[in-house]
Chain A
Amino acid sequence: MINLFKMDFHRFVRNKTMYLLLLIYSAFQIFGVFMMSLYEEPMAETGTLISKMNASEFIQSVLSQTPSWMLLYIMVFTIYFYISELNSGYYKNYITMKHARIHSVVSKIIMQAFFTLLMLATLIISDFIGRYLFLDNSSIGDLGFFLKLLSSQFLLQWAFSVLILCVAMITKKMLVSLIVGFVFALNIFGMILSSLESVLFDKAYVSDYLLVNTIMRIKDFNDLNELIVVLGIGLVSLIIFITIATTYKLKEDLK
Chain B
Amino acid sequence: MSGAIIELKGLTKQFKMKTAVHKASFKINKGDIFGLIGQNGAGKSTLLKMIGGLLYPTSGDIHFFNEASDKNQLYFERMGLLIESPGLYPAYTAYQNLNLMMIAYGIKNSNEEINKLLQLVGLENEKKLKVKEFSMGMKQRLGIAIALLGSPDVLILDEPINGLDPHGIKEVRELILELNKNGLTIIISSHILEELSKVATQYAIIHEGKIMETISKDELLLKCEERIELEIDDAKEVTPVLEETLNIKHYKVNDQNTIYIYDSQVENHQIVKHLSAKGIAIHSISKHKQGLEQYFLERTGREAAYSDQFI
Report the separation of the CA atoms of residues A73 and B100 in the bound assembly, to the nearest whole angstrom.
26
Shortest distance from the beta carbon of B158 to any chain A beta carbon, whole Å: 10
Beyond known contacts A88-B89, A95-B52, A253-B56: 11 more, CB 8 A cutoff: A7-B103, A89-B85, A90-B87, A92-B83, A92-B87, A93-B87, A95-B76, A96-B52, A96-B76, A96-B78, A96-B81
The CA of A6 and the CA of B103, in the complex, are separated in Å by 7
Interface contact B76-A90, CB-CB below 8 Å: no
B104 touches A96 (CB 8 A): no
A3 and B54 within 8 A (CB): no
Asked whether A7 lies within 8 Å of B104 as measured between CB atoms, the reply is yes
Report A-chain residues with C-beta under 8 Å of the C-beta of B123. Answer: none
- Contact status A251-B104, CB under 8 Å: no
- Is A97 a contact of B100 with CB atoms below 8 Å? no
CB–CB A93/B76 < 8 A: no
How far is B84's CA from A7's CA once the two chains are assembled, in angstroms? Answer: 23
What is the CA–CA distance of A91 and B53 in the complex, to the nearest angstrom? 11
B272 located at the interface, meaning its Cβ lies under 8 Å from any Cβ of chain A in the complex: no
B279: CB under 8 A from chain A?
no
In this assembly, does B263 line the interface, its C-beta being within 8 Å of a C-beta of chain A?
A: no
Please judge, given known A-B contacts A96-B77, A98-B74, whether A3 and B106 are in contact too, CB under 8 Å.
yes
CB <8 Å contact, A255 and B104: no
- A96: B residues at CB distance < 8 A: 52-53, 76-81
User: Within the assembled complex, what's the spacing in Å between the Cα atoms of A97 and B79?
Assistant: 9
Could you tell me which residues of chain B, from 79 to 134, have a CB within 8 Å of some CB in chain A? 79-81, 83-90, 97, 100-101, 103-106
- A200 on interface, CB distance cutoff 8 Å: no
Determine the residue in chain A with the shortest Cβ distance to B73: A98
Look across to chain B and name the residue whose beta carbon is closest to the beta carbon of A10: B103
Q: How far is the CB of A11 from chain B (nearest CB, A)?
A: 7
> What's the Cα separation between A133 and B23 when bound, in Å?
72
Mark interface residues in B40-51 (1 if CB within 8 Å of A CB, else 0).
000000000100
Is B146 interfacial (CB 8 A cutoff)?
Answer: yes
A4 to B88, CA, bound (A): 16
Whether B54 pairs with A4 at a CB distance below 8 angstroms is no
Given B74, B79, B97, B105, which contacts A3 in the complex, CB threshold below 8 Å? Answer: B105
Distance of A50 from chain B, by nearest CB (Å): 42
Bound: A33/B52 CA distance, A: 54
**Contact at B55–A3, with CB atoms within 8 Å?**
no
A253 touches B55 (CB 8 A): yes
Q: Closest residue of chain B to A9, judged by CB?
A: B103
Sampled A-B contacts (5; CB under 8 Å): A3-B104, A92-B81, A95-B81, A96-B80, A97-B104
Alpha-carbon separation in the docked complex, A233 to B79 (Å): 43
Cβ contacts under 8 Å, A20 to chain B: none
Name the distance in Å between B159's Cβ and chain A's nearest Cβ.
14
CB–CB B106/A253 < 8 A: no
Contact B52 A2 (CB under 8 A): no
Contacts of B85 in A (CB 8 A): 89
- Top 9 A-B residue pairs of the complex, sorted by shortest distance between their CB atoms: A89-B87, A96-B76, A92-B87, A254-B54, A7-B104, A3-B106, A90-B87, A96-B79, A7-B103
* Contact (Cβ within 8 A) B81 A88: no
Chain A residues with Cβ under 8 A from B36's Cβ? Answer: none
A93 engages B101 (CB within 8 Å)? yes
A94 interface hit (Cβ, 8 Å): yes
Q: Is B184 an interface residue (CB 8 A)?
A: no
**Which residues from 81 to 110 on chain A have a C-beta closer than 8 Å to any C-beta of chain B?**
84, 88-99
Nearest CB of chain A from residue B149's CB, rounded to whole Å: 8
Are A89 and B88 within 8 A (Cβ)? yes
Chain A 145-160 interface mask (CB, 8 Å, partner B; 1/0): 0000000000000000
| Contact present for A94 and B104 (CB under 8 Å) | yes
Supposing A88-B90, A96-B81 touch, asked if A254 and B55 sit within 8 A by C-beta, the answer is yes
Cβ contact of A92, chosen from B54, B103, B105, B149, cutoff 8 A: B54
Complex: how many Å from CA A94 to CA B88? Answer: 12
Determine the distance from Cα of A6 to Cα of B105 in the docked complex, in whole angstroms.
Answer: 10
B147, CB-defined interface residue at 8 Å? yes
A89 CA to B140 CA in the complex, in Å? 13
CB distance from B173 to the nearest CB of A (A): 23
Residues of B within 8 A of A3 (CB): 103-106
Interchain CA distance A97-B149 in the complex, whole Å: 12
Whether the pair A253, B54 counts as a contact (CB closer than 8 A) is yes
Q: Do the beta carbons of B73 and A7 come within 8 Å of each other?
A: no
A88 touches B88 (CB 8 A): yes
Residues 245 to 262 of chain B near chain A (Cβ within 8 Å): none
Is A95 within 8 A of B101, CB to CB?
no
Q: A88-B90, A91-B87, A255-B54 are in contact. Are A97 and B77 (CB under 8 A)?
A: yes
B56/A251 in contact, CB under 8 A? yes
Residues of chain A within 8 A of B53, CB atoms compared: 95-96
- With CB as the reference atom, state the residue of chain B lying closest to A87: B90
Instruction: Determine which of A10, A95, A251 lies in contact with B54 in the assembled complex, contact meaning CB atoms within 8 Å.
Output: A95
B84 pairs with A255, CB closer than 8 A = yes
B53-82 CB contacts (< 8 Å) to partner A: 53-56, 73-74, 76-81
Residue of B nearest to A96 (CB): B76
Bound form: Cα–Cα A71–B219 in Å: 64
Q: Which one of A11, A93, A98, A254 contacts B146 once the chains associate, using CB atoms below 8 Å?
A: A93
Question: Which of A2, A84, A89 has a CB less than 8 Å from the CB of B106?
Answer: A2
In the complex, the chain B residue whose C-beta lies closest to that of A253 is: B55
